[in-house]
Amino acid sequence: MVENTVFDRILRGEIPADILYEDEHCMAFRDIQPQAPVHILIIPRQRLDSLQNATDEHTESLGHMLVAARKVADLQGIGATGFRCVINAGAGGGQEVPYLHVHLLGGRPLTWPPG
Ligand code: AMP
């Protein structure tokens, strides 16, 4: 079965994205509706719909994405000032696209708690 979320399609190069970083495990591109001056999404090449379904098999891929987020934060000049990584999981967690992704946010002061 062909998986057809918008992020599957970006990974396959079927729709455009502003790609900032790629390696063997993940890809990072700008969010189309940024919520902060820097708002980048990091997705794994190993397909996973939601953190709700993560298993031991995803350990390397998930860990790799956080290190990639740090690299992208440095590339974007927010590594030293600070940034936030968010994974929305499931409808109750605010997830809209059913392909796991890390939101990397920064470039302005971020408040807590989030909405
Ligand atoms: P979530 O609510 O955690 O599932 O977040 C989905 C994110 O994907 C939202 O921040 C959207 O703005 C973003 N998004 C949806 N379509 C695209 C797209 N084609 N390119 C980049 N970001 C997108």
pLDDT at 25 over 70: yes
The answer to whether 26 touches 16, Cβ cutoff 8 Å, is no
Active site residue 101: yes
pLDDT at 17 over 90: yes
Q: Mention the CATH class of domain 6-106.
A: alpha beta
Q: Is the shortest distance between the CB of 89 and ligand 1 below 6 Å?
A: no
Q: What is the pLDDT of residues 50-103, one digit of tens each?
A: 999 999 999 999 999 999 999 999 999 999 999 999 999 999 999 999 999 999
> Rounded CA gap, 97 and 54, in Å?
16
Task: Calculate mean pLDDT across residues 35-52.
Answer: 98
What are 17's two structure tokens? 């994205």
* pTM of structure: 0.97
Which residue's C-alpha comes closest to atom 18 of ligand 1?
32
Q: Is the shortest distance between the CB of 50 and ligand 1 below 6 Å?
A: no
Choice from 5, 6, 48, 49 to test ligand 1 binding pocket (greatest atom count within 8 A of CB): 6
What are 56's two structure tokens? 């031991």
Measure 70 CA to ligand 1 centroid, in angstroms.
Answer: 20
Q: pLDDT grade, residue 115 (50/70/90)?
A: confident
